[in-house]
């Protein structure tokens, strides 16, 4: 949980920023809820103070207040959807670069009278 400051969330390997989260926000919830490996990289934007909530502590909190799991699960689903969308956009953009290069090369070759 972020107590003060802000973090940015990026996708690897592109380093594309997909979110910023400030005081009151949290990250790492996907791993705590599912045990899955991380799906993004979180970096501090300046000075940040965070409170680490371990998986065991979270389990105890959830056993006392099960609604917390439901609320965070909804946020996890929303974030995963956003991450997948960002990955798809990045993949389309990356695929477009070689095509743009080929198209430009073909135009140059046509203009200079090279190739068919």
- pLDDT digit string (tens) for the chain, length 116 residues: 999 999 999 987 778 888 899 999 989 887 887 788 887 899 999 999 999 998 889 889 888 998 888 888 888 788 778 777 777 777 777 666 676 677 777 878 888 878 65
For residues 50, 54, 60 and 64, what is the CA-based torsion angle, rounded to 10 degrees?
30
Measured distance CA(107)–CA(87) in Å, rounded: 30
- Can you list the domains of the chain with their CATH numbers? 2-112 (2.60.120.10)
Residue 64: CB atoms within 10 A of its CB come to 8
Query: What is the model's pLDDT at position 43?
Result: 96
């Amino acid at each position: 949980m972020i107590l003060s400051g802000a973090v940015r969330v990026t996708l690897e390997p592109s380093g594309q920023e997909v979110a910023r989260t400030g005081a009151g926000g949290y990250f790492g919830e996907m791993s705590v809820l599912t045990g899955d490996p991380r799906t993004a990289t979180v970096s501090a934007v300046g000075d940040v103070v965070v409170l680490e909530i371990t998986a065991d502590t979270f389990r105890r909190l959830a056993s006392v207040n099960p609604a917390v799991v439901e609320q965070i699960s909804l946020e996890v689903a929303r974030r995963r959807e956003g991450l997948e969308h960002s990955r798809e956009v990045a993949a389309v953009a990356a695929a477009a670069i070689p095509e743009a290069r080929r198209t430009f090369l073909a135009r140059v070759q046509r203009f200079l009278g090279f190739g068919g």
